[in-house]
Amino acid sequence: MSSIAQPHDKFFFQIMSKKRHAKAFFKQYLPEVLKPEAKLSKLKILNGKMVTSRGRQLYIDILCECPLRNRQHTRLRLICEHQSTPQPYMPARLLEYVATDTLGVRNNGGCKNPITVCFVVYNGISPWNYPVCFDGEYEDLELGKMFLSMGPICLVDVTQMTPEEIHQNKELGFFFAALKSSRAKDIISAFGDYLRVPEFRNNFLALPEKTRNLVTNYLLGLVSNEERERIREWAEALSDNKQEREKYMKTIAQAIQEEGIEIGRIQGVEIGERRGERKGEKNKSIQIAKVMLFELNLPIDTVRQATGLGKKVLQELKKGLKVATS
């Protein structure tokens, strides 16, 4: 991965770079032979930036390491890549990652090669119809396996997950639901459908607020300002209680404000950064304020605390006046 500017890759990194979620992922998707061996309690998340022997930079989305039980001095390296489009040469690409990472381990004092397992989390539109095993790419399979072989990729195909699988996945259901919803024609409705399922809703509400904000930022970043006004559907799906809906709308407003700040920061130039933060934040806050005022009928003081907008601005919105956003 050359950068994390692409929203799907960025969200994948934000979730999987948290040790809690990485441990849950590998606990579920490690090959069966390794599940009892891997000491995931000792999992480390490493820097995925590498340099080949020819000086070319490679970026692994997620690179982890953990020891193996009953195998002294044996390390398990875990490479996890996110793909939004099918890649016909994925095994060969991952073989380069494995070789480069192994050389790095040896150059840093390792006496033996680590055991490496590769994962691909796929969430594209077209089906994945390419080999997941390096052996499948040889012109002559029998001869090829004699001289160079590699274990199959652990393909985690989100597109093939059923709603029931996602609802019941207590630790990662929110992650897969967000990824799958991102490919729907109506993203707001798609994620709202998950929130209406009690089992999924309870798991989602049990997440730390920061994690819920990451999901909100990711999905709202994929829709238009007009569609963002429909976020009341999420609040209504989460609770019939007005106070709880109000609390969640505040959380959404906070998440959107954080996204506006992040967008502004990417501008690069200090003055442009400050203007971008102010403008991005205010535009999005106004969208949220409209929903809170007109759809949820919340009091101005509550909306002011949630959005950071001034009382005068909100009063003008309430009267139907046009508010300047620059």
Distance between CA atoms of residues 236 and 244, nearest Å: 9
pLDDT above 90: percentage of residues in the chain? 42
For 177, the 3-state DSSP assignment is: helix
Would you give the distance in Å from CA 132 to the centre of its chain?
Answer: 22
Please give the pLDDT value at position 71.
Answer: 76
Q: Above 90 in pLDDT, residue 306?
A: no
Q: In the Cβ-directed half-sphere of 325, how many Cα atoms lie within 13 Å?
A: 13
Per-residue pLDDT for 322 more than 70? Answer: no
pLDDT at residue 246, as a whole number? 79
Whether residue 321 has pLDDT greater than 70: no
Amino acid at site 221: G
Instruction: Specify which of 62-71, 139-148, 161-170 reaches the highest per-range mean pLDDT.
Output: 161-170
**Mean pLDDT computed over 134-163:** 82
pLDDT of residue 178: 97
Question: In a 3-state reduction of DSSP, which class is residue 285?
Answer: helix
Q: Closest by alpha carbon to 97, among 62, 138, 131?
A: 62
Instruction: Name the pTM for this structure.
Output: 0.75
Q: Under a CB-based contact definition with an 8 Å cutoff, are residues 215 and 188 in contact?
A: no
User: How far apart (Å, rounded) are the C-alpha atoms in residues 226 and 224?
Assistant: 5
* pLDDT confidence of residue 276: 40
Tokens 């770079």 map to which residue?
17
Is residue 43's pLDDT more than 60?
yes
pLDDT the model gives residue 273: 37
Around Cβ 26, how many Cβ atoms within 10 Å?
24
SS (H, E, C) 40-101: HHHCEEECCEEECCCCCEEECCEEEEEEECCCCCCEEEEEEEEECCCCCCHHHHHHHHHHHH
Task: Judge whether residue 78 has pLDDT over 80.
Answer: yes
For residue range 220-263, list pLDDT tens digits in order.
Answer: 889 887 888 788 888 888 887 887 777 777 777 766 666 655 54
pLDDT at 5 over 70: no
- At 300 the pLDDT is 83
Task: Look at residue 236 in the predicted model and tell me its pLDDT.
Answer: 86
Give residue limits of the domains in the chain. Answer: 7-160, 163-318
- Tell whether the model's pLDDT for residue 1 goes beyond 80: no
